[in-house]
Structure 1
Amino acid sequence: MQNTIFLNRQLKVIAPEGNQTLSNTYVATALKNLEGLGFGFSKELITRVQTMSELSFFKFYKEILSSLKQMVGAHIRHKPMYPNFPSEVMEMDEATLYVNAILHYFTLEQPVKAIGERSPLVHSKELQLIQLGTEMEFVELMTGLMAAKTSISPTDKEDLTWFLSTYDDTEQVLPKELPQKENMAFIIGTLLRLDKITNVTATAYLKTATDILRLAVALSDGDVSLAEVTRFRSFKNRERRFLLAAMELCPSLQLEDMVRYKNRWIRLGERLHPSAHQRRYPKANTAFNAMRNNTIIKTFNGRIEQLLEEKNISEAIALLTSRPGEFARRLDHLLRLADQNNHSQIGIAAEFEKVVSEVSTPVLLQVLAHFRHRNNAQDLRVFFPKGNVAKLFGKHNTLDPLSELVCQMMVSICESALRQRFSELPPVGKVFIDDNLTRYPVPFSQRSASKALRTLSRGSQLPLSDDDIVRFFVWWKEGKVNGKETGQVDVDLSAYFLDENWAYKEHISYTNLRSDYSFAVHSGDIVTAPRGASEFIDVNIPQALKEGCRYVMMNVYSFSEQPYKDLPECFAGWMGRNDGNTGEIFEPSTVQNKWDITADATIAVPLIIDLETRMVVWTDLSLTRGLSTANNIEGSHSALEAVGKAFMSFNKVTLHDLFRLHAESRGEIIEKKEDADAVFAEYEGITPEAIEVIISEYLV
């Protein structure tokens, strides 16, 4: 498991050093097999495995091979409905395609046809080299993940659970600070359940009432972001006593904090029985009584809202300076009110500058990006709500412009504060920053990110390979999940084509297996998958551009409406091909990215391709049922167009911005990469995929 985690995250492995000489035949055979998956060993790793015994090497190789197959989606057999896709579908007449589809729906059988010979694969993808890692590097990876300044993903939590349950003396590697509250609740909750942390140590991380609520949610396997309501489980006696004691010792157990989630505290009280322990925990019992008895509590946000409604800007600012983070979030509203009521916008900026040093780095970066793009002409304002499902909200932009001078002041204030903060970190020397990093947003939130071969933040723009054909794929399986049968599962792969104005051009789906203009083709609709099923779509980029297509959105629908989280397995991805009829239909070495679809949703919109710029925009979005009367692409046209347009208009702070601020504060930016002490680039040094490093070391 350790090497599986290391491979997925950093393409590194730990290989034990032996004292023997392994035959080159074994090494060469292993490397040839890995080459078929698109991977190879670095020189250092080859040297290390050559010292291993045959038995040790076979065990090591078997684990590596299994992990890599899982990473690219080659661990199962892909069998499309039409085995000679794409030529078979393109050559077949409409009547035969229609009859085959009807028979398949009635009998669940696939058309029987001999599989023709396919020419060898025409492709030359550069191998990804697996590096030799160390035990210390792995531990640093895990501890860095725990110290993240932003929310972590479900995959991160799985890996941390394994690490915390496997490693001894976890309190020794536990960071002194767990700055992100959601992560703190998950980590401390995991250690408590594993009985690998003392009550004293655990309680020290709980600073507020909401911290304790999140911990209770974590112990109940709920949503620690608190975006969704959690049904609390029955706690053990020792857990009840711990939570009540934590409330009693909490340095900031404020009723104002509790009333934000009043009903959840009432439900939690029903599980903790505070009145039965009121002598021992009187402070906790009093707090629960206040929630149950509807005690009127004036809240900070309530006072701010009242002052803003009264347009009492001066008092609102005076109050907000006590909570700089909230001040930062309300800046735009304050500046608009000032503009409308003859107050000084520059004065508001000056007041914010006095407390800016107390605002967290992620918030400052987002404020910076907001004011940098504040007056850009755009139809939509876009929001990612917190929670475990990757949703996107867009609303029409009705904000009046702000003074450019004030916007520039806000950007300058944020940048100055960040430079000052970063200057206190260790120097980085000469720094090279790749201009391509302007295409990658800073990963502020990973709580709903999918597990992927290449894990990136939403909005990242990845260059396509030079191939003319993009091949989308999806694989899913029916079966049993948590003891419950899924029943028949029908997952549909679709592609949605739009012109440069985001107007509909064409779609490819189970109702339209091939384009009228011959630029796209579907492998055939499979409606049940007891042993697993695959669907593919080929998109010919030059032909699609010739017909006026600018964007293509990949979509995966659960037509039978089971949420993806309730399936034994479902994953998707894309490949690059020069000729769709050469090689096997699924060639692991051509996989550009593969990800697991596990959201509590029935529609996935993982990516948008800008065919003109040949960029893949990573969206990783999930939508719930309710867009139309049928859960398919035909019923979702307007929603998909809105999603695409909203996502492409989203303004964000980039990794180039972040690394530039670090370099300007504690180093020297240079033009030649070979002369640099630190490299920040698309494929070298600190890359966009080094999310664990970015969120723990650069968002300080």
Structure 2
Amino acid sequence: MQFNEKGYAIMQNDIYLRRSRKVIVVPEESKLPDAHLATAMKNIAALGFTCSPALLAALRTLSEVSFIRWYKALIHSLKKLVGAHVPYRPMYPNFPQQVMETSDAELYLNAWFHYVTNEVPEMEPIDREILQSKVNLDMIELGSEEGFFQLMRQLMEANTSISDTDKKDLAWVIEHDHDIDALLPDAIRHKEQAGFIVATLLRSGKADVTRIQRYVKTATDVLRLAVAWSDGDVSLAANTPFRKFTRAERRLLLGLLEQCPNPIEDMLRYRDRWVRLGEILHPSEYKSRYPLSQEAFDVLRNNRPYATFGHRVEEALRYFDTDQAVEQLLERPGEFARRLDHLLRLEGAEASWIASFFESVADRVATAVLLQVMTHFKYRQSSNELRLFFPKGNVAKAFSLPDTRPPIASDACAAVVEICEQTLLARFAKLPGLGNVYLDAQLQNYMVPFSQRSASKALRTLVRGSKLAMPEGDTIRFFLWWKEGVADGKPTGRTDIDLSAGLYDDVWNYKEHISYTNLRSARYKAAHSGDIVAAPHGACEFIDIDIPSVIKYGGRYIVASLHSFTGQVYSDLPECFAGWMMRQHPNSGEVFDPATVVDRIDLTANTQIAIPAILDLAERTVIWCDLALTRNPNFYNNVEGHQTGVVAMGKAMTTTAKPSLYDLFRLHALARGQLVEREEEAQTVFALQRGITPFDMEEIMASFLAS
């Protein structure tokens, strides 16, 4: 898409607003009438936002024409952020009171009528009271061109995987930025980012060998580039059908491969994919020009013997030869760190020597890996029922397994924790000083962003497992909106997505559920707005749950879940998103009031079940999940058919120990500054709302997880 100057500014502000709650205003020499600004502020507040004093001062300098153009673009972006860009027509327009007061017979007949006709029964809406819930407005700050591009550079320099949304934002900036060399960092540390960015440069006609050669160092880097160039999964978790490359493109890929040291072992890790890629690159045509590449492909195609590092380690472990395994792993410190638990289990009480060898190479292990190893062994003695795994890939799938691992001696665990901590302190001490540092204890509830690869686009970008405090209010209102139609040229057919909520006690015993099969609770103050089974013009569902009534009758956890009853995966829908609000007086205000939206998340995974969040009512926290589960074909795809999987995920998400931002920032503070107890005494602040916050994801990934 081609952008003129105005279109570029609108899109730039849309990205900046979504990522940092900042916008750019180019000052003029006019004086905006107060009435314009007051009206705009009122409408912005109705969406849950307000403007900072600096932003207001910049807006006052605009002409009426410039301001109206800016305001219209901002309102459009804000509505998309909170989900207010679509109409909401629940089956029961006077929800929740109408559902609670309607007889069982009428609820049944209304559902029967809708299932037979796909029409919603005619119901006269009543005048609702003015919204009585207290709303905390989200501040929009004044940004700058320099700040925006610094944000994009930090995203490129992130030392962890980034999300699909991140990649789309980067691709747009790369395509439309004219000074590309000023934008690009000297090094891109994360291999997936490197493959994606180089492919984007190539697609945009902005790549030359000098510009991209510095980002491609290994054979796997070349493979990631070929995958990204073919619009595939750069994490290499899924197979990619390669596109047909031109002769010039084939020479470029082979030339990059030729410069890689010892490519054969690297290529054998993904042997089948390299064989398929070789069928497209035709390396034999260029064997005199790229002899090393031709030799490597010959080994792969003809299965010539080649002893790899991984094979040698596995052979040693297979025969319980820890001496040989450690000798091999010293060559690959990162792999050594990942195998520590296995090695220590094999050695039992005599494991201390393994920790000593690990200490000798720990300074060559990446920061993210050291943090994870440190936390793993810190809580290794804890007895958890389940272990939680997030397989690499672009979908937020999670698996839990019973924890049957034998214990490891406490002194060995303590030794590994100490090694990791001291190594990180020494590494961070080489970075610029932070002065006096204030560290908010609440950051213990926010997890370190090690992998955002499968993170969904949301109102707030968070890390799975983070715990957010609930705002004031007694009623949680979940919402869902989806639309059927045509997506990517394919008709979806009738689409029925169901919003459900499961209620559990403090040890995860089932208490009740609210869904299309149970519109209201016999025990709690909880209700569903009615089951809609088709969405040609968009459809919505809501669930209200009164927190005090759940706690009174022994409930603690609420699991919000979405189920594709008609079998479509979310990624095949034109649009689908969900979220939640907090209400004190649920019958006041509109059923969907954007100012009360706390979180909103897009559902785009190629799965049929999603768990966006778990609510812990005892602690009044929301545990961010953003998970996708696989459908069990032996059951209807609804909340009743997935109790086992939902409970397993709930137990795992509420007990799994992960490194927190408090852990990370504490190490930086100890190594680079002096911790103080009063925020006003600090030059550097790590907190929820001030200084560096959990939502400054780009800066955290680029600056605080540096290797």
Q: What's the TM-score once normalised by structure 2's chain length?
A: 0.97
Match of 1:452 in 2: 458
Q: How far apart are 1:225 and its partner, in Å? A: 0.8
Is 1:260 the equivalent of 2:269? Answer: yes
Cα distance in 1 for residues equivalent to 2:248 and 2:103: 70
User: Structure 1 residue aligned with 2:475, among 463, 469, 474?
Assistant: 469
Q: Secondary structure of the residue that 2:502 maps to in structure 1? A: strand
Is 1:567 the equivalent of 2:573? Answer: yes
Match of 2:71 in 1: 61
Is 1:387 the equivalent of 2:393? Answer: yes
Q: Aligned ranges for residues 158-307 of structure 1 at < 5 Å?
A: 158-250=168-260, 252-307=261-316
Cα distance in 1 for residues equivalent to 2:319 and 2:45: 68
Cα distance in 1 for residues equivalent to 2:263 and 2:61: 61
Match of 1:540 in 2: 546
Gaps of 5+ in 2: 1-10
Match of 1:361 in 2: 367
Q: How far apart are 1:627 and its partner, in Å? A: 5.8
Cα distance in 2 for residues equivalent to 1:261 and 1:514: 52
CA contact (8 A) 1:171 1:196 kept: no
Q: Secondary structure of the residue that 2:212 maps to in structure 1? A: helix
Cα distance in 1 for residues equivalent to 2:322 and 2:640: 50
Is 1:315 the equivalent of 2:324? Answer: yes
Is 1:335 the equivalent of 2:336? Answer: no
Q: How far apart are 1:237 and its partner, in Å? A: 2.3
Match of 1:15 in 2: 25
Is 1:506 the equivalent of 2:512? Answer: yes
Q: Aligned ranges for residues 525-674 of structure 1 at < 5 Å?
A: 525-626=531-632, 628-674=634-680
Cα distance in 1 for residues equivalent to 2:603 and 2:690: 28
| Counterpart residue type for residue 527 of structure 1 | V
Match of 1:371 in 2: 377
| Counterpart residue type for residue 463 of structure 1 | A
> What CA RMSD, in Å, does the superposition of the two structures yield over aligned residues?
1.0
Q: Identity of paired residues, percent? A: 51
Match of 1:682 in 2: 688
Is 1:31 the equivalent of 2:41? Answer: yes
| Counterpart residue type for residue 29 of structure 1 | T
Q: How far apart are 1:171 and its partner, in Å? A: 2.5
Is 1:106 the equivalent of 2:116? Answer: yes
Match of 2:83 in 1: 73
Q: Aligned ranges for residues 420-439 of structure 1 at < 5 Å?
A: 420-439=426-445
1:139-197 per-residue CA deviation (whole Å, 9 max, x = no partner) reads: 00000000000000111001001110110121232111111111111111111111112
Match of 1:400 in 2: 406
1:329-373 per-residue CA deviation (whole Å, 9 max, x = no partner) reads: 11111111111xx6x422111111111100000000000000100
Single out whichever of 682-691 and 8-17 deviates more from structure 2: 682-691
Cα distance in 1 for residues equivalent to 2:49 and 2:453: 29
Cα distance in 2 for residues equivalent to 1:94 and 1:581: 21
CA contact (8 A) 1:247 1:253 kept: no
Q: Secondary structure of the residue that 1:497 maps to in structure 2? A: strand
Cα distance in 1 for residues equivalent to 2:26 and 2:281: 49
CA contact (8 A) 1:462 1:616 kept: yes
Q: Secondary structure of the residue that 2:284 maps to in structure 1? A: helix
Q: Secondary structure of the residue that 1:348 maps to in structure 2? A: helix
1:537-560 per-residue CA deviation (whole Å, 9 max, x = no partner) reads: 001000011121111100011111
Match of 2:3 in 1: none
CA contact (8 A) 2:235 2:392 kept: yes
Q: How far apart are 1:626 and its partner, in Å? A: 2.2
Cα distance in 1 for residues equivalent to 2:372 and 2:81: 33
Cα distance in 1 for residues equivalent to 2:39 and 2:594: 18
1:434-487 per-residue CA deviation (whole Å, 9 max, x = no partner) reads: 000000110100000011111110000001112000000010111211111111
Q: How far apart are 1:87 and its partner, in Å? A: 0.8
1:191-225 per-residue CA deviation (whole Å, 9 max, x = no partner) reads: 11111121232122211111111111101111111
Is 1:138 the equivalent of 2:148? Answer: yes
Q: Secondary structure of the residue that 1:330 maps to in structure 2? A: helix
Q: Secondary structure of the residue that 1:632 maps to in structure 2? A: coil
Cα distance in 1 for residues equivalent to 2:129 and 2:15: 36
Cα distance in 2 for residues equivalent to 1:126 and 1:56: 29
Q: How far apart are 1:51 and its partner, in Å? A: 0.4
Cα distance in 2 for residues equivalent to 1:365 and 1:486: 44
Cα distance in 2 for residues equivalent to 1:402 and 1:624: 33
Q: How far apart are 1:519 and its partner, in Å? A: 2.0
CA contact (8 A) 1:627 1:636 kept: no
Cα distance in 1 for residues equivalent to 2:429 and 2:625: 34
Cα distance in 2 for residues equivalent to 1:205 and 1:160: 16
Match of 1:5 in 2: 15
CA contact (8 A) 2:187 2:214 kept: no
Match of 2:703 in 1: 697
Q: How far apart are 1:123 and its partner, in Å? A: 1.4
Count of residues in correspondence between the two structures? 696
Gaps of 5+ in 1: none
Cα distance in 2 for residues equivalent to 1:45 and 1:445: 33
Q: Secondary structure of the residue that 1:386 maps to in structure 2? A: coil
CA contact (8 A) 1:508 1:522 kept: yes
CA contact (8 A) 2:337 2:358 kept: yes
Q: How far apart are 1:511 and its partner, in Å? A: 0.9
| Counterpart residue type for residue 380 of structure 2 | R
Q: How far apart are 1:125 and its partner, in Å? A: 1.4
Cα distance in 1 for residues equivalent to 2:76 and 2:246: 39
Single out whichever of 29-38 and 275-284 deviates more from structure 2: 275-284
Q: How far apart are 1:624 and its partner, in Å? A: 2.2
CA contact (8 A) 1:453 1:593 kept: yes
1:496-539 per-residue CA deviation (whole Å, 9 max, x = no partner) reads: 11111111111111111111114210000111111111100001
Cα distance in 1 for residues equivalent to 2:255 and 2:354: 42
Q: How far apart are 1:282 and its partner, in Å? A: 2.0
CA contact (8 A) 2:478 2:543 kept: yes
| Counterpart residue type for residue 108 of structure 1 | N
Cα distance in 2 for residues equivalent to 1:527 and 1:313: 59
1:299-348 per-residue CA deviation (whole Å, 9 max, x = no partner) reads: 11110011112222122111111110001011111111111xx6x42211
Cα distance in 2 for residues equivalent to 1:562 and 1:355: 49
Runs (4+) off by over 6 Å? none
CA contact (8 A) 1:627 1:639 kept: no
Match of 2:6 in 1: none
Q: What's the TM-score once normalised by structure 1's chain length?
A: 0.98
1:67-92 per-residue CA deviation (whole Å, 9 max, x = no partner) reads: 01100010111110111111111111
Is 1:443 the equivalent of 2:449? Answer: yes
